[in-house]
Amino acid sequence: MRVSIAQARKELSQLLKQTRQAPVVVTRRGRPDAVILSFQEYERLRRLRAFLQMMRLSRELENCGVTATELHDISRRDLEERL
């Protein structure tokens, strides 16, 4: 669903209900400007982004020859030293 900013202002409550079914694209001068989505969808996307960042980090560490165990041990020692 697409709505103009003016329409979004008038119908915000209804649009929030609509986001339970699908995201709503808000347009400015006919061009997409923002998206309103449900909190559940936002959380799903946030978790997906975090997962993808971890996967990228994992590949970078693998390319550097650092194992997950080594990273864990170093992190744990660093944390213990701070306490």
Domain count, the chain: 2
Q: What is the pLDDT of residues 36-48, one digit of tens each?
A: 999 999 999 999 9
Task: Examine the domain organization and report whether 16 and 31 are in the same domain.
Answer: yes
By the 8 A CB rule, do 24 and 15 touch? yes
Task: Examine the domain organization and report whether 45 and 78 are in the same domain.
Answer: yes
Task: Examine the domain organization and report whether 27 and 46 are in the same domain.
Answer: no
Instruction: Please say if the pLDDT value at position 74 is more than 90.
Output: no
Q: What is the pLDDT of residues 47-59, one digit of tens each?
A: 999 999 988 888 8
Task: Examine the domain organization and report whether 10 and 27 are in the same domain.
Answer: yes
Determine if the pTM surpasses 0.75. no
Question: How many C-alpha atoms does 31 have within 13 Å on its Cβ side?
Answer: 2
